[in-house]
């Protein structure tokens, strides 16, 4: 009788530990990989036929969802687009008074640009991600055997890892 009571207590404690650990893991995961601007991201991704988890991952790697982010090199907004690229995309999309820091404008131009890169690299998302970070010319050099910039290698790994996480979120919706 005493043994079964001890086993029940151990099982209850183990169940409680697993439940608490699961909640802590979920909260930590959501803190590290937020899902801000979900509607805006989904809308822009869908408009250009992009995988939503891929777009979230690029936003996460580029700006950590900071719509006002600006890099040392001048890239700006959620998707950290260079101003000239943003202007070219906004013109191609016939966007009037586009603002690089407006999350909808930035996402729309960023998704458009990413979709162009994916097309240019024949559907190779990894190559497109490289090009998004280092430029199309550099990505083609990397693919031809030139050494990948350490920053770009790290960036690609970050986007790929984040995509796995955001892919789980997207399947849960």
Contact 74, 101 (CB under 8 A): no
Q: Which of 2, 62, 125, 136 is catalytic?
A: 62
Token digits of residue 100: 């690089």
DSSP state of 67: T
| Six token digits for residue 107 | 């996402």
**Alpha-carbon Rg of the chain, whole angstroms?**
21
SS3 for 81? strand
Q: Is 147 a catalytic residue?
A: no
Q: What's the burial of 23, exposed, middle or buried (CB within 10 Å: 0-12/13-18/19+)?
A: exposed
Q: Which residues are catalytic?
A: 62
């Amino acid at each position: 009788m005493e043994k079964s009571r001890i086993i029940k207590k151990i099982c209850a404690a183990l169940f409680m530990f697993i439940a608490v650990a699961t909640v802590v893991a979920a909260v930590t995961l959501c803190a590290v990989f937020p899902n801000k601007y979900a509607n805006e991201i989904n809308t822009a991704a869908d408009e250009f036929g992009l995988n939503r988890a891929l777009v979230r991952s690029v936003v996460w790697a580029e700006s950590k969802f900071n719509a006002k982010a600006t890099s040392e090199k001048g890239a700006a907004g959620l998707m950290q687009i260079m101003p000239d690229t943003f202007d070219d995309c906004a013109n191609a999309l016939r966007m009037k008074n586009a603002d690089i820091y407006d999350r909808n404008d930035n996402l729309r131009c960023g998704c458009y640009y990413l979709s162009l890169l994916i097309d240019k690299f024949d559907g190779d998302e990894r190559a497109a991600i490289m090009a998004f970070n280092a430029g199309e010319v550099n990505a083609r050099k990397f693919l031809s055997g030139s050494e990948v910039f350490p920053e770009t290698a790290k960036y690609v790994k970050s986007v790929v890892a984040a995509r796995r996480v955001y892919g789980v979120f997207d399947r849960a919706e």
